[in-house]
Every structure is written in C-alpha cells, then in structure tokens.
Structure 1
Amino acid sequence: MASETSPGIVDRVQAFVEEHKTAILIGAGIAVAVGGAAYYASTSAASEERDRRERKKGLKPPKTSKRRSLRDPDGPILEERKPKAEPLEEEEIVPPTSEELAAMPLEERSALAASFKTKGNTAYAAKKFAVAARLYTLAIDVSPKPEPVYYSNRAACYVNMTPPKHELVVQDCDEALKLDPNYVKALNRRAMALEGLHRYIEGLRDFTAATILDKFTNQNAAQSVERVLKKLTGEKAAEILLNREPRLPSFTFISAYFAAFRARPLPDVGESPTTGDSTLLLALQALAAEDYPHAVSFVNEALAQDISSEQGRAEALNLRGTFKFLTGDVDGAKADLQESIRIAPAFTQSLVKVASVHMEQGDPAKAFECFDEAIRQNADDPDIYYHRGQVLFIMNEFADAAENYTKSTELDDGFVFSHIQLAVAQYKSGNLANSMATFRRTLKAFPTRSEPQNYYGELLLDQQRFAEAVEKFERAVELEKVKTPPNVLPLVNKGLALYQWKQDVGAAEQCCMDALRMDPECEAAVATLAQLSLQQGKIEKAVEMFARQAELARSEPELTSALTYQFASAAQLEFMRNYPSMAAELRSMAQAMA
C-alpha cells in the first residue's frame, strides 16, 4: 500500500540508513568486503609466528593458496599442514601412563603434545574425526600448558561429526577463547555451533566479533552476520506479531491516512435512530475530531448493536476494517471491507480501501480490479483516481500516476493532496520545471495548509537547496502549531535537513525530540534519533531507540527492519564491552568506511 504519511521523509530516513550503514552497522559487518579473495587466519599469536617462520623456510604455502576444508567457510580448519602420513586407528593410539607423564621433562611433554596434534591433523585430513578428536584430547592432556589451538582443532572435529556435536564445539571454543580472546577461528566455530543450536543472539555476537577482529576482510564473515541476523529477526518478529496486542499507530500516521480521503456527510439515520445508529454517529464524530481511540471503541460497539440500515452497517464495517488495517490486522480488514462491499456494492471508498489491502498483500492485479469496479460504480469519485495514482506511484509508474492525480483534481480542485502528489510525480518523472510550477500554484492556492510547504521542502532538500528547504519546513511547523495536536513530520524533516546541510547533529536531535514531545509515537522521529545516535557512537541509546521503533512498527517488514538494526547495534555494543581496547579503532574504521 502507498503510505499515506509523507513518502519523502520515509525515503530520506531510509536513504540516511543506506548512506551510513557501513559506519553505523560496522559491528554487524553488513555488506562489507575489502578487495580480492578474503580469508581467515588464526589469531593465536604462537601459531601466527610459527606460520610465518614456516613460510619463510618454504615449508608452507602463502595463506592465499590455502585450500578450503570441510564445513568450514573461513578457510582451512587446521592451523598446520604437515606431510601426509597414514592416519592412525583409534586402537593404535597409545597415551602415556600418568607415571610416565609425571616423569617427563616439560620440553618432552610439549613435543609429545605437538606430535599428537600432528597425528590429529592427519586423521582429520582423512575424515577420521573421532580419531582426530581423540588425538587432540591427548595433546590437551599431555601439554604442560593449555594451548588454544588444541581446543579449536578438536572443536573442528565435533563440527564435522554426524550429527555435529554443537554443545561440545561451544565448550571447546570457550576454552580456546579464554586462552586467546582474539582467536578468530574459535569465534567463528563457536558462532556456527551457536547458530546450529538456534542461539542466534550469541551466534551474532561471535560472528560480529570475528568480522571486526578480521578488519572486515572476509566476505564469509559478513555473510554469516547477515544470515544469522535474518534468522534472528525473522524468529523474533514472528514471536512478537503472534503475541502482540493490536495497537493503533501514531497520531501522525493515522491522521495522515484519513486525510487522504475526502470528507463525506454523516449517514442519515432518520428521526428515530436505533442505539446502533447513535453509536455509529458517535464513532464518525470522534473520527472527525481526530479522537481515534474513541472512534475505534464506538464503531466496535455499534456493530454489536442494532444498526438500522444496510448503508449504515456498510459504513461501520468500512470504519472498523480501516482501523484493523491500521493496526496491522490485514486479514481482518479485508474481511470487514469485503462485507461492506457485499452490503453496499456502490460504496467506492470500501473498494478503494480493499485495493490498498491487496497491495499490502502484494497483489497489484487485484488492487486494479478493485479500482476498475469502483469506477464502474461511480466514475466521478475523485478519491478513486487519487488512490490509484498512489498505487501507480509506489510501482514507479510516475507518468500514469500523474494522469490519475490530474483526473482527481479535475473532479475536485479543492483536495490538496492530489495537487501535491501530482507535483511529486512530475518531479520523479524528471519534469523539474513542471513540478516546481505545480508546487508554486499549490502553495498559492492553499496558503494555510502545511502539507504543500512540507512536501515542497522535501523536493528542495533532494536538490540540496538546504536553506530554502529549511525555510519551508519552518513555515510548515508554524502552520501546524494552530492544530491540537499538530503534525510533527515537518519538524523531523527540518532536523534531517539541518543534519545534511550543516552536520548539526544536536539541532537534528532536538527537532526529533520536540516532535516526540508532541507525538510520542512518531515512527519517523524515533527512527531518525536511532540513526543519529549510531552516527555519534551512542550505541546504547541507539539500541534503546531501535527497540522503541520495533514497538511502534505497524507491519512485519517495518518490525523486521527495526529489529535488524536493534540486534546488530547490540552486537556492536557487546563487542566494545568485550574488547574495550578495540573501541577507538572500531570508531576509526567506521569513519574511514563512511
């Protein structure tokens, strides 16, 4: 469905996110890859130095020639490759007795542990994972001091067993990371195991840390972050939607939605209205007064009472279906609106709203069938053409949208939104001169309306005519002050303009906070504050605001988007807590990549 709130501000908030997401989601590593083929290397200091010496001696190929290994997307699963030998069978493994081990010098124990590890590598290469795991266990047992590589390699064996032993992988990687918190391979292995256990928040934590520690040079790591984020947000969104009570969106959203339909006279209930008739009138009067909670309550009561006429019942079903749509109950909305049409086939507003429901469900063909039927019922209803134009607009059919807006204005020249949307469609079609001329005529024709000022400001902002844009937004804010409550979108627009123009984060935040004081549930203000918080490195505040954005989300896509940023930001915050020495470097990387 075409949003009835300002499409410009929604587009710009999204553009802001896209423009800065590398920096603001640097902890998540989304879509980050730097040059050539990426690889992972062990960050265990001892093994890195050993690798360097072996390459220098010609005993080991450069890392870029490493071959990939079983179920391990981040490169070879073992840190050393020795000349191949026949793998041992488990019964051939002879561990030293406790007495023999106690009598061994430390250097001899270290050499014995290394030999067990080498044999483990050979067994692993032969896919004898149980044998390899046993050998790494012996390496752990005989080594005079704990070595993270032994735990990590044994975890690799558990990863490749059928079925994988995810719990044991986590335990071994825990031990490896206690010894070397920067051990990227262990982080990745534990992350994969946690993902296999559906412990997605912890898996995201580890994939995020591995991505950052590897300085975003590994595409597999970034893809893992995206994959786990998708699973996590999908699971959480489904859980929230299943258990969440229906709730109305913000006043700003609802008022903008209803403003997109021309006012109609109240239904005639005669001289002796029934209780249901009277309650329906109360609902429609509350709607006209923008008292939306009472409008919902009254219309529900009216439909449970005795509405006397078919037209009155169709009106009530239309209103209840609209509120269901606004709360995200798309199926319930569709049922009410279709029943409204069945009762009153010529009720074009219900047909138009069903078209919006079809668009929400991703079925534009059905939507246009509804518009065609509405035209057959009443070809002179200007709302039909305006809303058909909205659907064409979101489908990027700007020329066709403009034709529909023009038809709407020809039928009713006093509806401001048809003029505004015509100007916007002209702009999107590349007809800049026509668009600006349409806006100037609209500003002159509707001098007391804030909407032309606000939308014109958005187009000026898109052209980077910042001073003029801010002037229009400020004029819109002044015009809204006479309303109770006002539409706060011009304030949010002003904040975004000040940020883009002067990088004035403080002023932008103040505008959004002022907007939230007037409309505490304004989604655009919350979303913008969340992004500004990330931009300043205020990760805790950003997580809080994204959580609030998720609470306000009306649809599943909106909820999933908010949750994605919430969890990604939380993972970044946890990284900074776990690796405080990396915090400054992380900020530097973010600034360099922005």
Structure 2
Amino acid sequence: MAPLNTGAAVDSAAPSMLERVQDFVSEHKKAIIIATAAAVVASAGVAYYASTSASASTSGKTDDEASKLKKKKTGSRGAKKSSKDKKGSTDGPILEERKPKTDGSATTRAKIAATFKTKGNAAYQARDFTNAAELYTRAIQVSPREPVFYSNRAACYINMTPPKYQEVVDDCDSALKLDPKYLKALNRRAMAFEGLEKWEEALRDFTAATIIDRFQNQSTANSVERVLKSLSAQKAKEIIEKREPRLPSYTFISAYFAAFRPRALPTLPENPSQGDQTLLLALQALEASDYAHSLTLVNEAIEQGVSWDAGRAEALNLRGTFKFLTGEISAAKADLEESVRLVPGFTQSLVKIASVHMEQGDPQKAFKCFDEAVESNSKDPDIYYHRGQVLFIMNEYADAATNYTTSSELDDTFVFSQIQLAVAQYKMGDLAKSMATFRRTLRTFPNRSEPSNYYGELLLDQGRFEEAVEKFDKAIELEKAKSPPNVLSLVNKGLALYQWKQDIGAAERCCHEALRIDPECEAAVATLAQLSLQQAKIPEAVKMFERQSELARSEPELVNALTYQYATAAQVQFLHDYPDMAAQLNQIATRA
C-alpha cells in the first residue's frame, strides 16, 4: 500500500491522484483492453483480455461434434473425466476434425492418416492418452504437414499423468509453423509454458490467441490474469532482492515530510561530538528539502556516534523514516522502535511505527501505537491527523473527520488537517459541508497551493472541468514560488484537460512538464503510460511502464507496474509476430 503519512498530497485525498488515474483507465477500459490487455488496476486485481482455452462441455469431442453441442446448448460433458490438473481443469482440450489438404498424389496418404486420426480420437475419448498419442504419431509419419495431428497429440501429452509439457511445446511449435494462427495450438502451448513456469512465453501465447480470436471468448481471461500475476510477482521479488534501496521522487518525499508539523531543531550538548554536529546538519538539510544530503548526513551522524539519548532518538527517527521511504520496512521499524526505547513516548516515532504496521497490513497494532502516543502526549496534533489518515484509508470517514477536527483544534495552522476534513466530508456524501470547508481553507491559507489543488480534484470529480482547471492553474502559480515546486497540480490539470476536451496533447504536455521538474514523479509517468495506451502507442506505453517499475517504492507497487509492463510487452510481441493484424487491431482500438 502507499504510505499513510503523505497528507493530502499523494494518495489520501479523495478523489486521489491514484484513484483518478484508475478512473481514467476504467472509463476507457475497452480501448485499453484492446491496446494492451490491461484494465483497472484496483488492488492489483487486474482484468485482462480473454483468450481461448479448454472447453469442459466439449472435451473429447471433434470440432464438428463440439459445434453441434454448442448450438444445442446442452452443456454436456464427455463420458469420463480426467483428474484435475494444477490449474483446476477437469477435462482435456478439444480435438479437431480438420480435413487434410490433398492433391491427387497425396489422396491415399491422406486417407491412411485420417484413419489413424479417427482411431486416435476414439482412444482419446476413452481417456487412453498413451495409445491416442501413438496413433497421432502414426498419422504424422504418413502426413507430416497436417497441423491438427500435432495439436491433437499435444492434447494427449497435456492430459497424461504427469503432463509432458515439453512434448506439448514441441508439438505445438510444429503445428504453429504450419498454421501460425492455430488457436488451439496457441492455447495448448500457453498451458504447457505455464506448467513449465515459463510465464513470459505463456503470456505471449495467451495474448496472441486472445487477439486472433477477436476478444470474443471471455473464458480464458482468468488464464491471462493468472499468468500475469505469477510473472509479475516472481519478477518483483527478484528485483526487490537485487536492487539497491533508493529514495522515491522529490514530490513523494516532500509530501511525506509535509504531513508532519515542523519541530524545533534540538539543542546540542555543551560539548557536542562530531556525530552531534553532523546530526544537526542532517536536520537542517531536511528543513531545506535537500533529502539526499540529509540521508547521507544522518547515516554519518549515527556512525560517528550521537552523544545523548534524545539526539540519538532523533537520528534514528530520521534514518528510520528514510528507510521507510526506500521500502526497507523491517529496518525502518527497528530504527523507530529503538528511537522509542531511548525516549519513551516519542510521539512522532510512535506515529511512524503505526505507518509501518499499516504497511505490513496490521491495523490493530497501528492503533495501539496511536493509543500509546496519546497516552504520552494527548496534545500532539500530529497523532490525531495520522490516526485520521489510517481511518480514512479504512473507509471510516466519520471517525477520520473527528480526528482531523481534533488535530485542527489543537493547531489550526496545519493545512492538511483541514483539507482532509473536507475530503472526509465529501466521502461521507455531505457535499455542501465539504465545499464550505474547502472554501474556508482557501481563505485561511491563501498562499498555499494545496487547498486549490485538492479543491480542484473535487471539482473534477463532479465534472466541473473549467472550475477545476482554474484551481489547478492557481496551484501551479503558487508552486512556482518554491524550488523545486510540487508538480501534482500539473498532472491534475493534464487529466482535467483530457476529460474535459479530450485534449491528449495538452494532457501529455502537462505531464512532460511535470517530469522536467521532477523526473521521478510517479503520477506523471503513470498518466503518460495510460495516455499512450489510449492512443494505441504501444511502444511508448511499454517505456513508461518500464519507468514506472523502476520508480515503484514497494513490492505491491512494483507488482502492479510490472503487470502493465508485461501485458503491454506481450502485445508488442504480437504485433511483431502478426504484422498483418496490426491495422485491424488499431481499428478496433479506435472504435472502442
């Protein structure tokens, strides 16, 4: 999950940047399905295009017999069932009844081969897969240029115990050399690749079968989703294990630290150590938003040794925060817990430990941390703000609003408590109160960009596009006074212009400007990727998804980005393998 302590500036406001990108995808689902196999991202449970797989109701039947059964809609099964394979299928793939191509000189061989095939079909229906495979082998020996013989033999191999996956691949290779658009051979090879855990190859074949079948068969959408899930999870784990920790974008980090009220710098001991002085420099760099320098300095301070407990607790709090931001969750927790051990009741560390528990999916422990923090200092407004954030993402909007209100009552100079109160009211369906809270916040904080930006988001959610763009422009103008500025309002404006005027060019220019300012802005990259999909610019989308994968902070974020990346790359491969279908595919996408 995304970090909790981002204030309204990353993903806690509603509708948030993430939600709006998801809405964009959802609204244009058909075009995106056609363009890349990717649909809505929500909870990483992605719906993808369909492909053709084994039909339980026609297992063991010839194509002619299966067709008759489908027309009658009997739904009858074959007389016997094989044991379930690991994917849950209870019946084998359908056999085909194609007439061999013959000329005068080949008629006799074709008749002999057809006889072997007929006997093979009978053995297959009797679940005698070994004998059926031998009969199809004899058909191949007589007539080696008939793809159906290879495909049917592959059907036998895939139903054996254990399945002979490599033999399935080899036979389907032979069938597809003879007929590159042979749907059942593509699907059987995909199933075999999946059995061999060759996820990219399986995805390639499922994708090709789906598109060739003109997206008409929804039954194997689960197969595509399953393969994508396995592939993305495996790759994400490998990447996380190998890559060096890195800070996320400036926009992301600044939003995180902005969600905590500023605190006075600590007073150094009378005779400060080198580590004490380095810690002070680290905190000063943090105040100046020089995050990379602050990280380097706090690491040095701890290595050099901080001489007093409160200072060491402060150093561990900062280092733990940076570890949290780089996705080193367990290490972050260790630093933050040591910080609290040194200074019991260190409320900011307790609040951040709560964030770690939420990242690990344990809200009960998170709330215990908040309770401990309140017990230590019930007047700390940050506790209530961040507890409100946790309640907000749990959809407990009324309780979240109560906490935001308490936070503002303790300190009414913190803009995010008031923005989030307005957002919670909006989520509860109290539009009038929400808009009134936003307007009051705009008057109270005339020089802050955040109220204009997030008020614009609510206007955008209501379809009030012109007013939303005006608010985003106001936020952009206010951000120009900062160096560097926060670029989320630029991305918001791009999405608004697209939704309002279908102006993809303007939307792309906004996102590119955001990336010029902050080259690692995840929201801009994600939006550009989706805009590329909308235009069927598949290679450009692939590049953006690859970049999104590079920027992903946590494993779930990486899995999500990789899912899009591999789904899109599979279509690029399809267009390479079947260039004759490119124009047709683009026409379908254009009509979507």
Structure-2 residue corresponding to 1:343? 342
* Displacement of 1:478: 0.7
**RMSD between aligned residues:** 2.5
Q: Secondary structure at the match of 1:210?
A: helix
Structure-1 residue corresponding to 2:18? 10
* Displacement of 1:216: 2.4
Q: Secondary structure at the match of 2:28?
A: helix
Indicate how the Cα distance of structure 1 residues 413 and 226 shifts in structure 2: closer, same or farther if over 3 A, else same: same
Indicate how the Cα distance of structure 1 residues 380 and 238 shifts in structure 2: closer, same or farther if over 3 A, else same: same
Structure 2 distance, partners of 1:568, 1:515, is 26
Structure 1 distance, partners of 2:142, 2:294, is 76
Is contact 2:54-2:93 (8 Å) kept? no
Is contact 1:148-1:180 (8 Å) kept? yes
Is contact 2:228-2:567 (8 Å) kept? yes
Structure 2 distance, partners of 1:369, 1:456, is 33
Structure-2 residue corresponding to 1:547? 546
Is contact 2:33-2:49 (8 Å) kept? no
Indicate how the Cα distance of structure 1 residues 545 and 228 shifts in structure 2: closer, same or farther if over 3 A, else same: same
Structure 2 distance, partners of 1:468, 1:308, is 55
Structure-2 residue corresponding to 1:458? 457
Structure-2 residue corresponding to 1:121? 121
Correspondence list, 1:437-448, <5 A:
437-448=436-447
Amino acid across the alignment from 1:565:
Y
Structure-2 residue corresponding to 1:79? 96
Is contact 2:407-2:417 (8 Å) kept? yes
* Displacement of 1:62: 4.1
Structure-2 residue corresponding to 1:577? 576
Structure 1 distance, partners of 2:292, 2:70, is 70
Structure 2 distance, partners of 1:28, 1:153, is 29
Indicate how the Cα distance of structure 1 residues 63 and 513 shifts in structure 2: closer, same or farther if over 3 A, else same: farther
Structure-1 residue corresponding to 2:28? 20
- Percentage of identical aligned residues: 67
Structure-1 residue corresponding to 2:373? 374
For 1:43-94, what per-residue CA distance to the aligned partner results, in whole angstroms no more than 9, with x for missing partners? xxxx97xx49x97xx8x8748557467566897521249xxxxxxxxxxxxx
For 1:314-342, what per-residue CA distance to the aligned partner results, in whole angstroms no more than 9, with x for missing partners? 00000000000000011011110011001
For 1:497-524, what per-residue CA distance to the aligned partner results, in whole angstroms no more than 9, with x for missing partners? 0011111000000000000000000000
Deviates more, 1:129-138 or 1:182-191: 129-138
Correspondence list, 1:202-351, <5 A:
202-351=201-350
For 1:574-593, what per-residue CA distance to the aligned partner results, in whole angstroms no more than 9, with x for missing partners? 1122222222332343455x
Indicate how the Cα distance of structure 1 residues 214 and 179 shifts in structure 2: closer, same or farther if over 3 A, else same: same
* Displacement of 1:308: 1.6
Q: Secondary structure at the match of 1:448?
A: coil
Equivalent residues, number: 559
Structure 2 distance, partners of 1:388, 1:284, is 25
* Displacement of 1:38: 10
Answer yes or no: is 1:394 the counterpart of 2:393.
yes
Structure 1 distance, partners of 2:210, 2:37, is 8
State the TM-score, normalizing by the size of structure 1. Answer: 0.90
Indicate how the Cα distance of structure 1 residues 288 and 566 shifts in structure 2: closer, same or farther if over 3 A, else same: same
Structure 1 distance, partners of 2:4, 2:459, is 22
Is contact 1:25-1:569 (8 Å) kept? no
Is contact 2:114-2:139 (8 Å) kept? yes
Q: Which runs of 5+ in 2 are unaligned?
A: 40-46, 99-103
* Displacement of 1:166: 1.1
Structure 2 distance, partners of 1:388, 1:454, is 23
Correspondence list, 1:119-158, <5 A:
119-143=119-143, 146-158=145-157
Deviates more, 1:173-182 or 1:529-538: 173-182
Correspondence list, 1:400-439, <5 A:
400-439=399-438
Structure 2 distance, partners of 1:74, 1:11, is 41
Q: Secondary structure at the match of 1:279?
A: helix
Structure-1 residue corresponding to 2:44? none
Structure-1 residue corresponding to 2:473? 474
Is contact 2:49-2:224 (8 Å) kept? no
Amino acid across the alignment from 1:2:
L
For 1:345-370, what per-residue CA distance to the aligned partner results, in whole angstroms no more than 9, with x for missing partners? 12110011111111111111111111
Indicate how the Cα distance of structure 1 residues 61 and 310 shifts in structure 2: closer, same or farther if over 3 A, else same: closer
Q: Which runs of 5+ in 1 are unaligned?
A: 82-103
Q: Secondary structure at the match of 1:185?
A: helix
Amino acid across the alignment from 2:119:
K
State the TM-score, normalizing by the size of structure 2. Answer: 0.90
